[in-house]
Amino acid sequence: MRSRAALSRFRSLLFLFFFAPVFSSSRPQWIPRRVPVVLPEHTEDRPAPHFLYPARLDVTSPCDPECHKRAPRPSYWDLRHLLAYETLHSDGRLTETTIGIYGYSPRSNTTLAYSSGLSGKAEQSHVRRKRQIFGHDGRFSIAGQNFLLKYPFSVAVKLSTGCSGTLVGDRHVLTAAHCVHDGKNYVKGAQKLRVGFLKPKQRDMQPSSFNLLSNLTNQIKGGPAPYSSAPNDKMKFQWIRAKRTHVPKGWIKGNANDIGMDYDYALLELKKPHKRRHMKIGVSPPAQRLPGHRVHFSGFDNDRPGWLVYRFCQAGEETSDLLYQHCDAQPGASGSGVYARMWDGQHRRWERKVIGVFSGHQWVERQGASQEFNVAVRITPLKYAQICYWIKGNFLDCREG
């Protein structure tokens, strides 16, 4: 009887988190806004990469929100340099493309109203280096085809370099730049990069909601999140090769030092369509406008091989380019698409959109105390214009974010 009651409670909470509308006149909405135009201007060949070192899945940065706030705002010419990009082709050829920016006003990138501080958990003096779990582990392991193949979980994919990604087009995957480039050169395996789709084998026909149910129940009760080894005999990846990989020069210049993490995103174009439903990208709204101030993302954390791991949490501080939060994560989740679900007034429906890319972990000394948090790269209007053009190839389809 207890398991039935827990299952009923789980279903109710799942409906609340994912499907239930907000019956309120103040429901959070996607607000259409005109975005600038980012167009390629000139492309030239660059020396071929070396592909010497494996991808680092635990990229960190010592630059906290205060560090980012103090940084000078990039000029128009700075932005043209930062948004220029390299394209790695599957034959090993490398090109660099300069860009032009049109319809951009620096005043449109207004300073955000920063929150007064991180949550109390971040103000503890206890140091948890290289750990991306904050207190109780609130991650949910997803298993069984009735969940894995269901949107939005089905948009999460695995990269052969060890990271995660999100389907954002018929043949496009959004991920973190550090998953393919270490800031100096392309990583080992980037030339023959593959994207994996996790699928249960056909004999796995039983609904398998135990892990999601158990984790959710334990989080409600405040207990530890259970985890058992993945049923690898029931799981498999179907792989598709990447045809092109786009990386902004802002990442190549920065390598997660100081402001470099602002541009830790990349787009992969697959050699063939994946034939799955994808998630649209959207301009990241201020954290206070997110439903419950929460963000969500799913990825393939290394400590849970074979599982797709979902999490959600409240957003913390934010800068123009970064969103800080305490969503539990481990290496392997890098590159996951951070998304929100809000009302689309134009199409009269609820819609999820990717508003950022999970980048990694930051640990800093702040006012004499050790603080740490996970960080996601926000999709700003300029980044939206660039990524959308990479996907659509037509700026006319990218004017509203």
Q: Are 391 and 382 a contacting pair, CB within 8 Å?
A: no
Give yes or no for a contact between 200 and 148, defined as CB atoms under 8 angstroms apart.
yes
220 contacts: CB under 8 Å, gap ≥ 6:
9, 13
User: Could you confirm whether 137 is annotated as catalytic?
Assistant: no
What is the β-pairing status of strands 349-366 and 60-61? Answer: parallel
Catalytic residue selected from 89, 108, 119, 258: 258
Annotation says 258 is catalytic: yes
Q: To which H or E segment does residue 295 belong?
A: strand 294-299
Sign of the Cα pseudo-torsion (103, 107, 110, 111, in order):
positive
Catalytic annotation present for 178: yes
Q: How far is CA 39 from the centre of its chain?
A: 24
* Active-site choice (137, 141, 164, 178): 178
* Distances from the Cα of 60 to the Cα of 30, 128, 148, 296, 316, angstroms: 31, 13, 30, 21, 18
Given 160, 209, 334, 359, which residue is catalytic? 334
Residue given tokens 């050790």 in the structure block: 370
Residues in the chain: 401
Q: Which residues are catalytic?
A: 178, 258, 334
